[in-house]
Amino acid sequence: MKDTINFIIGPQGLILLGGILALVGAFWSARRDLDSEKELNAKNQIIIEKSDEITELNNQIKNVLTGGNSFPYVIFGSPDDIHGLPTIHLKGENAIANVTGKLIDIRALRLDQRKGNIPSDVGINFSKDIISPAYATFVINENSFYDISKGARFLVHFYTPYYKFTQVIAVEPRTTDMYPLQAYRIYKGGTGVSDGNLIYTNYPDNFPIPLEEIDFLEDLTSEELQKIKKKNKT
């Protein structure tokens, strides 16, 4: 009994007691750290969620201001096989404000250039306060028809406060549901087709010309350009 008492209150007992207290303290500290870590993780999760919400809100505001991934384009309606009426549409969810542009009849342009008019003034300028996915708008008015009886080629430039889009259109006169057949490509950025990024292609299955063979711009040949340059010098 005495030995037992001496063990408990002696150096060994103090060491044992100290070990127990240290173990209890370590357990309590670990539990407190665990609770603190859980609390910290919970706070961090709230911060992450709020940060994501702010980022999403910023993206929504940016999309409203810039139009996001939306882009304008022209398609031709037609009451018959001869006339084509160009209207502006929007693909995407976000409207685009303050859009200016120019619609160019490529064949009329090349004809004017062959007369020596380089640069040429051929084309119709337009300006729209807003282009919305909810409705289409006429390029000029409901009477701005083009002759598509032998097919047609068009170039459209769209300018917004943030982006530039370029569209090339090949129109053939066959009609389905009041619309002529039309294939088109849309480019974003750059100065046009040559250095813009191709973002969209529309090609009907029944279009009479293979896509890779469509000469959208019907460019002047190098020989024609040389003749025009010589003519302008004289």
Least confident range of 39-43, 76-80, 187-191, 195-199: 39-43
What does the alpha-carbon distance between residue 21 and residue 8 come to, in Å, rounded to a whole number?
A: 15
Q: Which tops the pLDDT comparison, 5 or 36?
A: 36
Most confident by average pLDDT, 1-5, 30-34, 106-110: 106-110
In angstroms, the Cα distances linking 188 to 60, 68, 130, 182 are: 21, 12, 19, 20
Average pLDDT on 130-145 reads 91
Question: What percent of the chain is modeled with pLDDT above 90?
Answer: 49
Q: What average pLDDT does the structure give for the chain?
A: 84
Q: Which of helix, strand or coil describes residue 197?
A: strand
C-beta neighbour count of 94 within 10 angstroms: 18
Taking the CA atoms of 134, 140, 141 and 142 in sequence, report the sign of the dihedral they define.
negative
Task: Return all residues near 152 (Cβ < 8 A) that are at least 6 apart.
Answer: 84, 105, 106, 107, 146, 169, 170, 171
Confidence at residue 180, expressed as pLDDT on a 0 to 100 scale = 84
- pLDDT band at 91, cuts 50/70/90? very high
Q: Tokens representing 151?
A: 């097919």
For position 81, what pLDDT does the model report? Answer: 75
Segment 26-77, tens digit of pLDDT:
556 666 666 677 776 776 777 677 777 777 777 777 777 778 899 999 999 8
Mean of pLDDT values over 87-108: 96
Give the containing element (helix H, strand E) for 224.
helix 222-233
- Provide the CA 115 distance to its chain's centre, in angstroms: 38
Is 3's pLDDT higher than 90? Answer: no
Residue 4 has pLDDT above 50, yes or no: no
| Long-range contacts formed by 65-68: CB under 8 A, 24+ apart | 65/162, 66/94, 66/96, 66/160, 66/161, 66/162, 66/163, 67/92, 67/94, 67/95, 67/96, 67/97, 67/160, 67/162, 67/163, 68/92, 68/93, 68/94
144 or 29: whose pLDDT is higher?
144
CA atoms within 13 A on the CB side of 168: 18
Distances in whole angstroms, Cα of residue 218 to Cα of each of 73, 74, 105, 116, 223: 20, 19, 11, 17, 14
Residue 78 has pLDDT above 50, yes or no: yes
pLDDT at 18 over 70: no
Using pLDDT thresholds of 50, 70 and 90, give the confidence band for residue 192: confident
pLDDT at 9 over 60: no
